[in-house]
Structures are given as C-alpha cells and as structure tokens.
C-alpha cells in the first residue's frame, strides 16, 4: 500500500494512493478515516491525484537521523566509521513535502543535498530488539537531509546546520510492503546523477538502527528515521532542482531557492 497526505478542496486528509506510480497523474487518492496506523478505514471519498496536492506524507513528532552510515560517504567527508550508529535530530519544523522549495539561508554556504531512505514508525515503542524492528515500522519513504556545511563545521555539532526550516524534504508517499535491504538510491541535481548507491551498503542496517535509537528514546507513531546518505553529496544553489529516487518507492523532487531572491 502507498500512503500519503493530500490537500484537496475539502481539506487535508490521509489517503491510499492507487494506480501506477510511474504515472502519478493517473493515480487515485482514496481518503482514509482519521489516520493510517493499524488497519486503515476508508471514508468512500476519492480524488484523481492530478486534482489534489501531495503534502509531506506524515507529521512526525521528531526526525531521528543516522550519520556516517555508508563507508564511501565517510571516506569522501573524512573520518572513521562509527562503532555504533551515530544519531542526531532534526526538528519537525524542517519537514516539507514534494515540490515545496528548499530555502537556502542567506548566511549559509555551501548547502548540500543528502538523499536517504527514511523509515516511518507505526506505534509507540521502546527497547526494540533488532529482530523485531519491522513489527514497529509502518513503511518507508524518501528523505533529503539538507545540510549547511559551513555551519556544521563552525559549530562543531549539527543542530543548526541541519535544522533550518525546509531542510527535511520527505515523500512523495509511504510504501508499506517493501523490503529495504537492497534498494537502489539515486540523487539528481538538474537531471545530472550525483549519488548512485544501494541500501545494502549501509554499515548499520535498519534493525540495528531501530534498536539503537529505541534504547535511548521512545519512538511514536509517525516518527521518522533517516538512515544515512551514500557518497556523492554536493552543493545545491538557487534555481536548482534536486530529485532523490529510491527503488520501489518513487522520486522526491524539490526546487531550491535562496531566501531573499526571486
């Protein structure tokens, strides 16, 4: 099942998206009553996807990110692979959906894209063993861990560099029936491929990540986990378009603007 959120003339709703994801404008959005957790119930209303606007597919209470999770990315940035998953947080105010502009702060340069597979949590959970991680996962979506590299370097920690509004694009939808162990992940800027890797190259797999995070904090329904980016990160500038694709999910596209420029 593909789950999403839409804005329609009738308001905002969770939906099930049906049809060929390679032809999104021919898909249909079926309204889900209340929320998508558990067994979704449908209201009977639906819209052609072309007649509504896709929003970020989930409203997370927190976004937990994993850094340094691909060896080739660690090599390009410098440093050594961590023994345990290295986690940091993004505020939920950084979340935007498909086609919403990434806004580059006037005082940040360079700002980099980081295409990632994202995990969506299905229910409250704590101290989850790696072997039971999938029992607590609603599905998977695409994330872009946008990062202000100059602020990351100058601050010595990552909150400001990765916490700006619009610095966490996610979408276009959540896929619930997906095996995440070996998926192609690719990032393009203005149609040119910049990142091209596979999730099988993660240092810490998703079960280990969920176990590590949930040992520290309770995860709530809708919480997002960004699982790390492969090599090939680089700058985005005003006027660019960045697209992150994950096999079995689709493509998340966002334009880029510099604050104060038109």
The predicted structure's pLDDT at residue 23: 87
Instruction: Decide yes or no: CATH 3.90.850.10 for domain 63-258.
Output: yes
List all residues 6 or more positions away from 200 whose beta carbon is below 8 Å from its beta carbon.
Answer: 181, 182, 183
The predicted structure's pLDDT at residue 122: 98
CA–CA gap between residue 6 and residue 93 (Å, rounded): 18
Please give the average per-residue pLDDT across 166-193, as a whole number: 98
pLDDT for 106-134, tens place per residue?
Answer: 999 999 999 999 999 999 999 999 999 99
pTM confidence score? 0.96
SS3 category, 214 = helix
Mean pLDDT across the chain: 95
Confidence at 262, pLDDT banded by 50, 70, 90: low
Phi, psi of 204, deg, nearest 5: -110, 120
Two domains, one topology: 2-55 and 63-258: no
Nearest-10 Cα torsion for 176, 179, 181, 187: -60
Given a cut of 90, whether residue 178 has pLDDT beyond it is yes
Q: Which residue has the higher pLDDT, 130 or 21?
A: 130
Given a cut of 90, whether residue 76 has pLDDT beyond it is no
Please give the average per-residue pLDDT across 152-157, as a whole number: 92
Quote the tokens at residue 260: 């104060």
The fourth-level CATH superfamily of domain 2-55 is: FAH (2.30.30.370)
Phi, psi of 145, deg, nearest 5: -85, 75
List all residues 6 or more positions away from 7 whose beta carbon is below 8 Å from its beta carbon.
Answer: 52, 53, 55
The predicted structure's pLDDT at residue 31: 97
Residue spans of the domains in the chain: they are 2-55, 63-258
Q: Which burial class, exposed, middle or buried, applies to 230 when counting CB atoms under 10 A from its CB (0-12, 13-18, 19+)?
A: buried
pLDDT for 2-11, tens place per residue?
Answer: 999 999 988 9
Phi, psi of 115, deg, nearest 5: -70, 135
User: What are the residues facing 55 on neighbouring strands?
Assistant: 5
């Amino acid at each position: 099942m593909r789950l999403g959120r839409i804005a329609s003339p009738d308001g905002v709703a969770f939906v099930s998206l049906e049809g060929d994801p390679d032809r999104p404008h021919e898909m249909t959005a079926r309204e889900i009553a209340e929320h998508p957790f558990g067994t979704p119930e449908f209201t009977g209303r639906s819209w052609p996807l072309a007649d509504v606007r896709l929003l970020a597919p989930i409203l997370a209470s927190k976004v937990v990110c994993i850094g340094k999770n691909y060896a080739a990315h660690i090599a390009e940035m410098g440093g050594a692979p961590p023994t345990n998953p290295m986690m940091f947080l993004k505020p939920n105010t950084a979340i935007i959906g498909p086609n919403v502009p990434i806004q580059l702060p006037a005082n940040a340069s360079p700002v980099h894209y980081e295409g990632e597979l994202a995990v969506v949590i299905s229910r409250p959970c704590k101290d989850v063993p790696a072997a039971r991680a999938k029992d607590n996962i609603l599905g998977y979506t695409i994330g872009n861990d946008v990062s202000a590299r100059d602020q990351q370097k100058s601050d010595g920690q990552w909150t400001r560099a990765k916490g700006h509004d619009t610095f966490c694009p996610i979408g276009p939808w959540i896929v619930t029936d997906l095996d995440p162990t070996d998926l192609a992940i690719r990032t393009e800027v203005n149609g040119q491929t910049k990142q091209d890797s596979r999730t099988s190259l993660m240092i810490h797999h998703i079960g280990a990540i969920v176990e590590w995070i949930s040992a520290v904090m309770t995860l709530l329904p809708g919480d997002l986990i960004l699982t790390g980016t492969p090599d090939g990160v680089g700058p985005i500038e005003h006027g660019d378009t960045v697209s992150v694709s994950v096999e079995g999910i689709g493509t998340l596209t966002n334009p880029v603007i510099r604050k104060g420029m038109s």
